[in-house]
Amino acid sequence: MHILIKNKNLIFRDYKIKCALGKRGIGKKKKEGDFITPIGVYKIKFVLYRKDRVKKLNTSLKKFPIKKNMGWCDDPQSKKYNKLINISSTSKHEKLFKKKTYMTLF
């Protein structure tokens, strides 16, 4: 399965999904915090979604509903870096349950 990213949209067949990219776009990643989304080929492991926004999610991928206490660790010094965490953790994190969040692919 190939997904194209164009104009801040994930494009798969006839589907378009808005996505967030680094402020400096897509390119060769030099270090954490350089505002670049790294170019590459990635495997989608699972889908996180808001149950109140997405009623039926038809996919063969693993799927998990986003809960208010879920976050994504963005602290490069932490052992939990780039992993799903409980936001009661002391690590710096990004909240997943936001007003505009619908689905997150990892």
Q: What is the pLDDT of residues 4-46, one digit of tens each?
A: 677 777 777 787 877 777 888 888 888 877 888 888 877 878 8
Of residues 46, 92, 50, the one with CA closest to residue 71: 92
Q: How far apart are the C-alpha atoms of 76 and 79, rounded to whole Å?
A: 8
Percentage of residues of the chain with pLDDT beyond 70: 83
Task: Assign 53 a pLDDT band (cuts: 50, 70, 90).
Answer: confident
Q: Are 69 and 86 in contact (CB under 8 A)?
A: yes
Phi/psi at 17 (5° precision): -130, 125
The confidence score (pLDDT) of residue 101 equals 54
Kind and range of the H or E element at 94?
A: strand 93-95
**59, 74 in Cβ contact below 8 A?**
no
Using CA of residue 35, residue 93, residue 50, residue 1, what is the dihedral sign? positive
